[in-house]
Amino acid sequence: MSHDDATVRKLMRRQLRIGLGACSLLALPLGLLPVVFRLLPPGDTSQGVTWLLLGLAPYPVLLATGAWYIRRAERNEGDVTGR
């Protein structure tokens, strides 16, 4: 099925918008990690919390944002192709 240029441009704008939204969703929680580390008290007790935040906290955020992005991108493409 052939699409006109306006439809393709509209799809590209929508995909760009959700891509920037996904980057924003990732930048906020992951960008605040250094602030959280700065607020933690120095010493042996906070070292475990630091490793826990570094080792476990980013992955649910990354997975949820990736799943959201894929759903939105497929929905956008489905709107254009009619599926």
For the chain, the domain total comes to 1
Domain that holds residue 57: 5-81
- Chain segment 43-70, per-residue pLDDT in tens: 766 677 778 878 888 898 899 999 999 9
Lowest mean pLDDT among 18-27, 32-41, 42-51: 42-51
**Alpha-carbon distance values, 34 to 4, 5, 7, 17, 22 (Å):** 46, 44, 42, 27, 20
d(CA 25, CA 28): 6
Q: What is the pLDDT of residue 25?
A: 86
In this prediction the pTM is: 0.73
Please list the alpha-helical segments (H only) found in the chain: 5-31, 33-39, 44-55, 58-81
Q: What is the pLDDT of residue 2?
A: 59
